[in-house]
Amino acid sequence: MTIRKAIFSLSLALPLALAGCPSEDGEGTDIVTCSVNADCLADSEICHPIGKICVPTCTEAADCPENQNACEAIKDANGNALTTELVCQCKSSSEFCTSEDTTVELVCSQIDNVCETKCVSNDDCSVFSPARECSNGVCVPAAVCSGNTSCTDPSASKCGGDGKCAACVADEDCSHIAGGKTDCDSGVCVVPACDTANAVPGSAGGPDICAYGETCTAGACVDVPAATCAGATSVTWNQANQGPVLTSISTAFFTTSNTSGECADGGAKLEATVTFYAPKGLTYNSTAALLHQWTANTPGQIVFVKANGTTTGAAFVRGMPASGAKNGTFVIGSCGVGQSDAVGRAVYVKDSAGNAGNAICL
Q: For residue 287, what pLDDT is reported?
A: 52
Residues 202 and 252 grouped into a single domain? no
Residues 277 and 295 grouped into a single domain? yes
Phi and psi for 3 in degrees, rounded to 5? -65, -35
CA 230/CA 92 separation, integer angstroms: 53
CA 341/CA 359 separation, integer angstroms: 18
pTM: 0.55
DSSP conformation class of 333: E
CA 7/CA 16 separation, integer angstroms: 9
> What residue numbers bound the domain in which 216 lies?
193-222
Tens-digit pLDDT string for the chain (362 aa): 233 333 333 333 333 334 333 344 433 347 888 989 999 999 899 999 888 899 989 999 888 887 787 899 998 777 888 899 999 888 766 677 876 777 788 888 888 888 888 999 988 888 887 778 888 888 888 767 888 998 888 988 999 887 888 899 999 999 999 888 899 998 999 989 999 999 999 999 999 999 999 999 999 999 999 999 999 998 999 999 999 999 999 999 999 999 988 898 999 999 999 999 999 998 766 554 444 433 333 447 889 999 999 998 888 888 888 888 999 999 999 999 999 999 999 999 998 788 899 999 99
Q: Specify which residues 273 forms β-bridges with.
A: 250, 331
Q: Distances in Å between the alpha carbon of 229 and those of 21, 251, 298, 335?
A: 70, 15, 26, 20
Residues 32 and 72 grouped into a single domain? yes
Residues 238 and 352 grouped into a single domain? yes
CA 124/CA 137 separation, integer angstroms: 10
Give the count of domains, the chain: 4
Residues 8 and 136 grouped into a single domain? yes
Residues 236 and 209 grouped into a single domain? no
Residues 52 and 160 grouped into a single domain? no
Q: Specify which residues 312 forms β-bridges with.
A: 304
Residues 174 and 245 grouped into a single domain? no
CA 154/CA 354 separation, integer angstroms: 43
The residue type of 153 is: D
Residues 131 and 47 grouped into a single domain? yes
DSSP H helices, the chain, are 3-9, 15-18, 288-292
Residues 11 and 109 grouped into a single domain? yes
Residues 256 and 344 grouped into a single domain? yes
Q: For residue 1, what pLDDT is reported?
A: 27
CA 169/CA 189 separation, integer angstroms: 9
DSSP string across 265-304? T---EEEEEEEEEEEEEE-----HHHHH---SSS--SEEE
Residues 106 and 65 grouped into a single domain? yes
